[in-house]
Structure 1
Amino acid sequence: MNLDLALMLDLLGCFFFAVSGCLLAVRKGFDLVGSVLLGSLVGLGGGVLRDLILNAGPPAAFSNPLYLAAPLLAAVVVYFVVGGVKRANRLVLTFDAGGLALFCVTGALKALDAGMNAAAAILLGVTTAVGGGILRDVTANQVPSVFDPKTMYAIPALLGSALATGLWYLGWLNLATGTISALLVFTLRMLALKFRWQAPLAARSWARPRFRRG
């Protein structure tokens, strides 16, 4: 997998995550500036955190203007396309799953290209995938998806990072296999939402809290 492909997947993931942030801004009643800022937080946050950990110079989000264009484009698309808050609720989850799927692959790939071992690459892939979402949800004053017991968020990212890392070590990571890895993560995330799959609680003896459906 070459640098151009990695950049393309990174930008696509940035756009998907930025759309989820802009859609959440619609749901929360933010103005257009708030939409751009929230989209930028989620779209760029995970990648900035990844690049700082890798200590590879200035984060790509600040050295390549294409990264800044992604949240701006997302805000424009959401402004003209989204028809209502109810529709935004469904689309947030869909675009968030797309960003999660792409970032767990590109995060692991960048770590491996920087010379990190397999365990570190998997961990950094997960960090890249969930970091922006945490910033988005905290800023929007809601429980981050990665900590929400009603949803399975980090596990698909972990599996996607592990799969991409394994393919890289085998020499099989290319456009086709990288895309398949991302699609598997996206599918698992959407199935978890549809069938309400949940990760185990922190202690087996605790009763799972009851949540009202809203």
Structure 2
Amino acid sequence: MDLGFSLLQVLDIIGVAVFAATGALAASRKELDIVGFVFLAAITGIGGGTLRDVLLGETPVFWIRSPQPVLVCVAAGVAVYFLAPFIEYRYRLLLWADAIGISGYCVMGASRALEAGASPTGAIVMGIMTASFGGIIRDIVVGEPSVLLRKEIYVTATLAGAAFFVIAVRTGLPFWPAAFGGSLIAFAIRAGALAFGWTLPGYRSRPGRDFPPR
């Protein structure tokens, strides 16, 4: 049995489940019905993986080849629908669940890209896009400010996780330690941003220069 491939499958399902839960949590904040919960869970859960497969030319995409991802999204949407009334700080939970999702998905997206023959740079970019796209779709659909526009570090965490993984496997580190290390780094950075407000310096506009008339 190929342990690397098995881990990819596990990461894929975990990523789908966690992102689906964030979509359903967003639905709870908008007080949607159960169909809305399942719909948002599905588009969030499979959004990043769909973009990944389309860009890598792996068609039909993963959730068409196997019903498991869609069933996981449905289960997550229904579960959150019944459990959400008992969750007091749903937006906070959404952010932490999203942090878990991006940590696994940035590694999984990078790994899929390497398997497809992408360059190390391309694999890192694919990891970032795979981890971010589902959350972007979720926020656009529910009309929430995108997580990408929050001041806390977000994309940088996926960049660090994907880069560690790609560099590690390229230098000969076995798949399991590389994947675990990349996911842990991504989560630690995003968790630090949520817990301590870590940010990167923002752009500060300055007045334009006045040039003397000629």
> TM-score, with normalisation over the residues of structure 1?
0.90
Q: 2:97 aligns with which of 95, 98, 107?
A: 95
Structure 1, gaps ≥5 residues long? 207-214
Q: Does 1:68 align with 2:70?
A: yes
Amino acid at match of 1:98: I
Partner of 2:164: 163
CA distance in 1 between counterparts of 2:152 and 2:189 reads 12
Q: How far did 1:171 drift? A: 2.2
- Maintained 8 Å contact 1:149/1:198: no
CA distance in 2 between counterparts of 1:98 and 1:135 reads 17
Q: Which has the larger radius of gyration?
A: 2
- Maintained 8 Å contact 2:161/2:184: no
CA distance in 1 between counterparts of 2:71 and 2:107 reads 21
Partner of 1:199: 200
Partner of 2:209: none
CA distance in 2 between counterparts of 1:33 and 1:200 reads 41
- Maintained 8 Å contact 1:27/1:85: no
Partner of 2:173: 172
> TM-score, with normalisation over the residues of structure 2?
0.90
CA distance in 2 between counterparts of 1:90 and 1:50 reads 27
Q: How far did 1:85 drift? A: 6.0
Q: How far did 1:130 drift? A: 0.3
**1:179-198 equivalent positions in 2, closer than 5 A:** 179-198=180-199
1:42-69 CA distances to partner (integer Å, 9 max, x unpaired)?
Answer: 1100000000000122110211111111
Partner of 1:38: 40
Q: Percent identity?
A: 35
Q: How far did 1:84 drift? A: 4.3
Q: Does 1:145 align with 2:140?
A: no
Larger mean CA deviation between 117-126 and 186-195 belongs to 186-195
Partner of 1:9: 11
- Cα RMSD for the two superposed structures: 1.7
Larger mean CA deviation between 129-138 and 165-174 belongs to 165-174
Q: Does 1:25 align with 2:52?
A: no
Using a 3 Å threshold, how does the CA distance of structure 1 residues 19 and 165 change in structure 2: closer, same or farther?
Answer: same
Q: How far did 1:173 drift? A: 3.7
What SS does the corresponding residue of 1:56 show, helix, strand or coil? coil
Q: Which 4+ stretches in 1 moved above 6 angstroms?
A: none
Structure 2, gaps ≥5 residues long? 207-214
Partner of 2:85: 83
Q: How far did 1:82 drift? A: 2.8
Amino acid at match of 1:181: G
Amino acid at match of 2:22: S
Number of aligned pairs? 205
